[in-house]
Copies of this chain bind each other. A is one copy, B any other.
Amino acid sequence: MKQAWSLLEVVAPAAGLLDITDRVVRWTSEQRLSSGLLTLFCRHTSASLLIQENAAPAARRDLQRYFDRLAPESVAYEHHEEGPDDMPAHLRSALTQTHLGIPLADGRLWLGTWQGIYLFEHRRRPPRREIALHLIGE
């Protein structure tokens, strides 16, 4: 049994879903494990992680518009130090995932055919984001 870990650094071009599947799959396969568990952990509270549809860009645009309505900027929040997108970013993070766990079998991540791994960036001016990767298995 062995472990591996790494820090993935990402800057999204804008708020919304950024596909990180290829980078995650590449790092995982470089560790040359046959079976195990991959954990992704987003080290922020204004960006999050999501497994979503990887084939239809329209589905990702609908998803972002949905969260724009569900946790809108137009509400008078008590916490607004960093601007109108500050508190909605925390709410959207709370409603999605800070971490993901994906099993590995036969040397491959066990993702479904239509599943992609996404950073869900919630800030209008995205800073650099760190996603911790951890793999355990053999």
Contact = CB atoms under 8 A, between A and B. Distances in A.
Contacts of A52: 45, 90, 93-94
A132 B115 contact: no
**Number of copies of this chain that the complex holds:** 3
B114 A132 contact: no
A17 to B, nearest CB: 10
23 contacts: A3-B36, A5-B103, A5-B110, A36-B136, A37-B136, A39-B101, A41-B110, A43-B111, A43-B115, A50-B94, A56-B81, A59-B87, A62-B87, A62-B90, A63-B90, A63-B94, A70-B70, A94-B95, A95-B95, A95-B96, A97-B97, A98-B100, A105-B134
Interface string A42-60: 0111000011110010110
